[in-house]
Amino acid sequence: MMRALLILLALALPAAAQEESIVAGLSQSSVSITTNYVGSEILIFGAVKRDAPRPQGALDVIVAVEGPHTPVVVRQKERTAGIWINTDAVRIDSAPSFYAVATTGPLDRILNQTDDLRHRITIRQAIRSVGISSETEEPQAYMDALLRIREGSGRYRINEGSIWMDQQTLFRADVALPADLTEGQYRVRIFLTRDGHVIDMLERSIGVRKAGLERFLYTLSREQSALYGLLSLAMAVLAGWGASVIFQRLRR
């Protein structure tokens, strides 16, 4: 009898966990980087679908927008004889080129550490640095330096309390994308949390690619580097000559 009750309880738990789920969409699924691209804004909108009366407890939403991952080398500089020089360097296995987190409330209140570790939601968890401890005695200092640099440039950002939510059902988040985007697939993850626990997650993607003249120059630099170099040199000479002509006319 006891065994049968345990089996029924185990079967009931997944169903209970899915009493609330996310239904969401994006304002756009692709971004084209052109010569006049100065950044854009992505609107994430959605609702909470319920198959039962709303449970007790605080319901919150977290949105994480993540750019392509690349290895990163973080260097330490020291001032020697009045000159700043690189001394030590540490390689971080994989860090997102862009990472933005928007929430309905403070992260330390709406997300517990266990679920953060499982889903890699916060910026620190999104960075993978498996072997950094073997390269330096101060791995945390290098991680802090990477975060400080990318937060200062706007590549990493956390906007707590920026998601609008109505009646714990409808929600909306606006995430600004900078002008210096890296090409590739951007992952958009939407998390539904109750009392700090993730109860549902939905994932979407945004394709970012260069277009027009930007695409032509990018492809040329990768596929025909010699021609790209000659073209760059010719443009520099032409620009110099043009500036010289204008300067001479102004002097007359």
Structural domain of 123:
13-67+97-211
Shared domain for 121 and 135, answered yes or no, is yes
Tally of domains within the chain: 2
Question: In this structure, is residue 50 part of a structural domain?
Answer: yes
Rounded Cα distance, 174 and 102, in Å: 8
Model confidence at 15, pLDDT cuts 50, 70, 90, reads very low
* pLDDT attached to residue 159: 94
Are the beta carbons of 72 and 92 closer than 8 angstroms?
yes
Shared domain for 61 and 166, answered yes or no, is yes
3-state secondary structure of 223: helix
Model confidence at 170, pLDDT cuts 50, 70, 90, reads very high
Question: In this structure, is residue 228 part of a structural domain?
Answer: yes
* Residue 13, both tokens: 């738990």
CA atoms within 13 A on the CB side of 135: 19
| Strand ranges for 97-196 from DSSP E | 99-103, 156-159, 164-166, 170-177, 184-194
Shared domain for 131 and 24, answered yes or no, is yes
Q: pLDDT, tens digit, for every residue of 60-88?
A: 999 999 999 988 888 776 666 666 665 67
Rounded Cα distance, 20 and 169, in Å: 10
* pLDDT attached to residue 186: 92
* pLDDT attached to residue 13: 46
Shared domain for 118 and 221, answered yes or no, is no
Q: State the CATH number of the domain containing residue 151.
A: 2.60.40.3880
Among 193, 195, 199, 169, CA closest to 103: 193
Q: What is the pTM of this model?
A: 0.72
Shared domain for 138 and 251, answered yes or no, is no
What percent of the chain lies above the pLDDT cut of 70? 68
